[in-house]
Chains A and B, each alone.
Chain A
Amino acid sequence: MSDSTLVTTDDVDKALVFKPKDARPAPPSTVGVIGWMRNNLFSNVSNTLLTIVGAYIVYTFFSAVLNWAVFNAVWEAESRRECLDLVGRSGACWPGVAAWMENLIYGLYPKHQVWRINLGFLALIAWVIPLWLPRVKSKVAIGISAVLIYPFLASYFFMGGNKGLVWTLLIALGVTGFAWVWLTTLTEMRYGLPFTRFMAGMLGASGKPQEVQVKYGRFSMLFVFVIALVLVTQWELQEVQTRQWGGLFLTLVISGIGITFSLPAGIVLALGRRSNMPLIRILSTTFIELFRSVPLITILFMFNTMLPLFLPVGVEVNQLLRAIVAVCLFAAAYMAEVIRGGLQAIPKGQYEAADAMGLGYWQSTTLIIMPQALKIMIPTIVGNFIGLFKDTTLVSIIGLFDLLSMSRAVGEDSRWLGLFIEPFFFVTMIYFVFCFLMSQYSINLERKLAAGNQR
């Protein structure tokens, strides 16, 4: 017995080396394409049956849609009659959609003025591009400026017409904002300094105290503003009435305003609902519950019929503005509940810790509570934005020419009489792409922001 435990000199000489056998290859049926199919499609009899049923559904659906939309479709025709003569109802009649394309996107906006809409949206894209660029530090300021200052610029692009003194100043502010965003982006990417500090340095104030530098920075911004003002006064755009707005453009304008308004208003309402002051709590709760418990269409109708009654005699409110007010208030009430959900999810310890640090109400809210609440609610907030974007179709019921009404109008055109499915198909695609991209972006963002929690 003791022999077996004894270490003999022989064993010591040839050192014990553990040599594992080579792993056997995995069975061919569990790896690769075949293995995957076996596991996920044909693991047992019922699964195989389901696969066959599923494949049949997929085949029927795609063959029907592709045959209709691509293979049997008519791509060139003068009228719907011609399409029907060629393929009947078995194929789509795309020329109708193509003929109406400009109206679907820009509504009844004058054809030779359409570049203004394009330029306006390009300006927005250019405004927010720096948010995704590396080494740009003033991202918060750029984002806020896009929300607060860009609308002045856009409104003049879209509306045009006579600008009074105040509006001239505001448009100049918009131009200045745009210039500031890109100047700052460039200087920060190149020199790591915001534009104002960079200019202070250029003007020879780099060694001077902080206040002097700030003064130089302000001075350079004032200079930019004056240049913008001069430009703006020389700038004349023909007036386009909001009645002529329509199509995808109108949908984006209404949902854009709704989205930008609803977030801050929702935050205020949510804070109001959780406030310690009974009056403010009651008012916020009443507003939220009232607007959430009725359908959007009733609110649109209400504002459409009652807003002219609410305002002094003789004040005319155009229909677009009525719709926008209704959509904004509705969206704010929904957003408030989302934010409140986020606020409730913050552990009490966070509030107590903020109090213990000696932070006041506004400091603890803006620095501690709100960033966390907004972060955990990102998917829901974006979901709300998507809902709002879809809900803007309701303005077609009160007589605005949004994307949906435009697509309905195709079938009422005498040349394309009865052409409904094709424009609906096209518009559905547009809505789907917008909403799907938004939801995918929110998932992406959520993952990126949650990176801090994964250790």
Chain B
Amino acid sequence: MAISESTAIRSQSRLSSFLNNETVRSVFYQIVTLVCVVGLFWYLVTNTIENMSVRGMSAGLDFLNVSAGFGISFTLIPYREGDSYFRVFQVGIANTLLVAVIGIVFATAIGLFMGLARMSSNWLIRTIARWYVEVLRNTPLLLQIIAWYFGVFTLLPRPRDSLDWGGLFFLNNRGAYFPAPVPEAGFGVTLAALAIAIGGAIGLRYWARKRQEATGKHFPAISVGLATIVLLPLLVFMLSGRPLTWDMPGLQGFNFTGGLNVPPALGALVIALSIYTSCFIAEIVRSGIQSVSGGQTEAARALGVKPSWTMRLIILPQALRVIIPPLISQYLNLTKNSSLAIAIGFPDLVSVWMNTSLNQSGRAIPIVAMTMAFYCIVSLTVSFAMNQYNKRILLKER
């Protein structure tokens, strides 16, 4: 009687210790989660298959070789109306990347300027910069894009009365026109010289750093390198007989021909994206520079470092550690935000692929998957590179 009771208690305690075991619980919870997730997926997939068979849709990739049959208003890479859907995908990617690259360049420049202005010792400049940032980052980007497009670019004069800067640049409601460089035979030599100069400048900097580490002697590698990059190709260009002509935009009939045309949608998109992102970059720059404690400047001064070097050698390297990760994520945001182009009809990836192509071909699943895959690949690549960089610059604490 007593024995059986004690075994009952023991078995009960064994059971409860089994139930309270951390590993057992963790396995149990994971199995439950797995069952739920698999069940959800199974439910979604069976529904999708059934829906697709009801609507006569297909999920194959065979449509990629079919001719898309619609025109695209702006293409960076050559495209004709008869080209395949896959070509449309490429055109979309090229346009998205174009917007992203131009936007990043402008956003960085404006953002850096505004960030420095926010730290100005002049109260008025500081206040203007502060309100620039506050107003523009507290209004939706889509609103800004649409306002630039409908409120500025479509209200510009007709081509006949277009704004004219010295007969070189024209601005009208069909966009902005620039002279386009047309390389002639022999221009390749100048490009080669440019490549050599860049290589030489990098080599020079490497050598200068080695020498400084070994002997302590300083060599102005950056200014000399920049001079090489500018002067060497220029010299070669002059010597090879200036093999470059400019294609000037000119009014013909009702419209401009020739030159480089930036359509209104691209202009509005790039301006809105770079101004919006510049606000965030300005804040990142400001917080980065302010994160370096004042003691660093004082210590540099005490060591006799020249004031012009203090910023470059002491403050910036430390500030960049704080600035670069959020800066890169802003670049990614800008790239993702370029998808808002669809609101003003600029043919980026989402607009030509996820909207026009999807509506025409009806292949929702492969198209959505390909679009998301593109953005995922870009983001994951950048964040992988970012993690490597972060590991490298991590504060070495001893």
SS class, residues of chain B in contact with chain A:
helix
Residue pair A432, B339 in contact (C-beta under 8 Å): no
Q: Judge whether B342 and A397 touch: CB under 8 Å.
A: yes
Report if B120 contacts A (CB, 8 A).
yes
A390 touches B33 (CB 8 A): no
Q: Looking at the complex, which of A2-10, A125-133, A274-282 is the stretch in contact with chain B?
A: A274-282
A261 within 8 A of partner (CB):
no
Distance in angstroms between the alpha carbons of A421 and B154 in the assembled complex: 11
Chain B, residue nearest A435 (CB):
B138
Count CB-based A-B contacts (< 8 Å). Answer: 159
Chain B residues positioned under 8 Å from A312 (CB to CB): 47, 50
Write out, one digit per residue, whether chain B residues 46-81 have a CB within 8 A of any chain A CB (1) or not (0).
011011101000000000000000000000000000
B-contacting residues, A381-401, CB 8 Å: 386, 390-391, 393-394, 396-397
In the complex, whether B30 has a CB less than 8 A from a CB of chain A is yes
A424 touches B151 (CB 8 A): yes
Residues B51 and A313 in contact, CB atoms below 8 Å apart:
yes
B138's partner among A51, A279, A386, A420 (CB-CB below 8 A) is A386
Q: Is the CB of A297 within 8 A of B350?
A: yes
Question: A352 contacts the other chain (Cβ, under 8 Å)?
Answer: no
**Are the CB atoms of B51 and A308 closer together than 8 Å?**
yes
Instruction: Please determine whether B30 and A57 come into contact, CB atoms closer than 8 angstroms.
Output: no
A40 CB contacts on chain B under 8 angstroms: 121-123
Residues of A1-53 whose CB lies within 8 A of B? 40-41, 43, 47, 50-51, 53
Q: Are A294's CB and B150's CB within 8 A?
A: no
Cβ of B358 to closest chain A Cβ, rounded Å: 7
Q: In the complex, are the beta carbons of A279 and B376 less than 8 A apart?
A: no
A residues near B121, Cβ cutoff 8 Å = 40, 43, 47
Q: Of B52, B125, B135, B380, which is in contact with the most chain A CB atoms at under 10 Å from its CB? A: B125
Residues 104 to 157 of chain B near chain A (Cβ within 8 Å): 120-125, 128, 134-135, 138-143, 146-147, 150-151, 155
A292 within 8 A of B: yes
Query: Do residues B30 and A280 form an inter-chain contact, with CB atoms below 8 A?
Result: yes
Kindly list chain A residues whose C-beta atoms are within 8 Å of the C-beta of B155. Answer: 89
Q: Decide: A298 and B143 in contact? CB cutoff 8 A.
A: no
A390–B141 touching, CB < 8 Å: yes
- Please measure, in the bound complex, the distance between the C-alpha atom of A290 and the C-alpha atom of B372, giving whole angstroms: 9
Q: Secondary structure of the A side of the interface?
A: helix
Binary CB contact string for chain A from 424 to 442 against chain B (1 if under 8 A, 0 otherwise): 1001100110011001000
Q: Mark A280-298, 1 if CB is under 8 A from B, else 0.
A: 1001000001101111111
Known A-B contacts A54-B124, A424-B146; the reply to A301 vs B30 at CB < 8 A is: no
* Cβ contact within 8 Å between A431 and B128: no
Give the residue name and chain of the B residue nearest to A404 (CB): B143
Q: Which residues A285-327 have CB closer than 8 A to chain B?
A: 289-290, 292-298, 301-302, 305-306, 308-313
Number of residues from B at the complex interface, CB < 8 A = 54
Q: Does A91 contact B (CB under 8 A)?
A: no
B10 to chain A: which residues have CB within 8 Å? none
- Whether B146 and A50, one on each chain, are in contact in the complex, defined by CB atoms closer than 8 angstroms, is no
Across the interface, do A293 and B379 meet the contact criterion of CB distance under 8 Å?
yes
B window 189-243: CB within 8 A of A: none
In the complex, are the beta carbons of A279 and B151 less than 8 A apart?
no
Report the nearest B residue to A290, measured CB to CB.
B376
CA distance A278 to B23 in the complex (A): 12
A50 to chain B, nearest CB (A): 5
Kindly state the separation between the CA atoms of A435 and B339 in the bound complex, as whole angstroms: 23
Cβ of B339 and Cβ of A50 under 8 Å apart?
no
Contact B143 A424 (CB under 8 A): yes
- Interface presence of A408 (CB below 8 A): yes
Q: How far, in whole Å, are A339 and B52 apart by their CA atoms in the complex?
A: 39
Instruction: Indicate if A222 sits at the interface (CB-CB under 8 A).
Output: no
CB distance B140 to A431 under 8 Å? Answer: yes
Report the bound CA distance from A36 to B141 in whole Å: 37
Interface check A445, CB cutoff 8 A? no
Structural contact, A41 and B124, CB atoms closer than 8 A: yes
Q: Mark B27-57, 1 if CB is under 8 A from A, else 0.
A: 0011001100100000010011011101000
Known contacts A276-B26, A431-B140, A432-B139; decide if A310 and B124 are in contact (CB<8 Å). no
When the two chains form their complex, are residues B138 and A439 in contact, meaning their CB atoms are under 8 A apart?
A: yes
Q: How many A residues are at the interface, by size bracket?
A: 35 or more
Q: A-facing mask of B149-172, CB < 8 A → 1, else 0?
A: 011000100000000000000000
A414 to chain B, nearest CB (A): 17
Chain B residues within an 8 Å CB radius of A266: none
CB atoms of A58 and B124 under 8 A apart: yes
Instruction: List the B side residues contacting A107 at CB < 8 Å.
Output: none
Q: In the complex, A301 Cα to B147 Cα: how many Å?
A: 23
List the A side residues contacting B178 at CB < 8 Å: none
CA distance in complex: A427, B47 (Å): 41
Confirm or deny: B337 has a beta carbon within 8 angstroms of a beta carbon on chain A.
Answer: yes
- CB A121 to nearest CB in B, in angstroms, measures 21
Which B residues are CB-close (under 8 A) to A289? 376, 379-380
**In the complex the two chains form, is A305's CB within 8 Å of B124's CB?**
no
Minimal Cβ-Cβ distance residue in A for B341: A297
Does the CB pair B147–A310 fall under 8 Å? no
Question: A432 and B50 in contact (CB under 8 A), knowing A58-B128, A280-B33, A293-B380?
Answer: no
B336 at the interface (CB under 8 A from A): yes
Q: How far is the CA of A136 from the CA of B339 in the complex (A)?
A: 48
Q: Which of B29, B48, B151, B364 contacts A421 (CB 8 A)?
A: B151
* In the complex, B187 has a CB within 8 A of chain A: no
- Choose from B26, B123, B147, B372 the contact partner of A298 (Cβ within 8 Å): B372
Determine whether A96 belongs to the interface, using a CB cutoff of 8 Å to chain B: no
B343 within 8 A of A: yes
Query: Smallest CB-CB separation from B362: which chain A residue?
Result: A305
Instruction: Determine if A212 is an interface residue (Cβ-Cβ < 8 Å).
Output: no
Nearest CB on A from B276, distance (A):
10
Beta-carbon contact of B350 and A396 below 8 Å: no
| Residues of the B chain whose Cβ atoms lie less than 8 Å from the Cβ of A277 | 26, 29-30
B355 at the binding interface (Cβ < 8 Å): yes
B394 to A: closest C-beta gap in Å: 14
A408 to B128, CA, bound (A): 30
**A50 lies within 8 A of B48 (CB):** no
Q: How far is the CA of A311 from the CA of B44 in the complex (A)?
A: 7
Measured between C-beta atoms, what is the minimum distance from A109 to chain B in Å? 22
In the complex, whether A217 has a CB less than 8 A from a CB of chain B is no
* Identity of the chain A residue whose Cβ is nearest the Cβ of B374 in the assembled complex: A294
Distance in Å from the Cβ of A129 to the closest Cβ of chain B? 26
Q: Is the CB of A397 within 8 A of B343?
A: yes
Q: Does B84 lie at the interface of the complex (its beta carbon under 8 Å from any beta carbon of A)?
A: no
Q: How far is B6's CA from A306's CA once the two chains are assembled, in angstroms?
A: 60
Beta-carbon contact of A297 and B340 below 8 Å: yes
A-B contact pairs, 25 of them (CB 8 A): A41-B122, A47-B122, A54-B128, A89-B155, A277-B26, A279-B34, A280-B30, A283-B37, A289-B380, A293-B375, A294-B336, A294-B376, A295-B340, A297-B342, A298-B375, A301-B350, A305-B358, A309-B47, A312-B47, A390-B139, A393-B143, A397-B343, A420-B150, A428-B143, A431-B138
Write the residues of chain B forming the contact surface with A, with a CB cutoff of 8 angstroms. 26, 29-30, 33-34, 37, 44, 47-48, 50-52, 54, 120-125, 128, 134-135, 138-143, 146-147, 150-151, 155, 336-337, 339-340, 342-343, 350, 354-355, 358, 364-365, 368, 371-372, 375-376, 378-380, 383
- Top 10 closest pairs, chain A to chain B, by CB: A293-B379, A435-B138, A40-B123, A54-B124, A390-B140, A295-B336, A295-B339, A279-B30, A393-B140, A420-B150
Q: A41-B122, A54-B122, A404-B142 are in contact. List 15 more A-B contacts (CB 8 A).
A: A40-B121, A40-B122, A277-B30, A283-B37, A290-B376, A294-B372, A294-B376, A294-B379, A295-B350, A298-B375, A305-B358, A310-B47, A310-B48, A390-B139, A394-B142
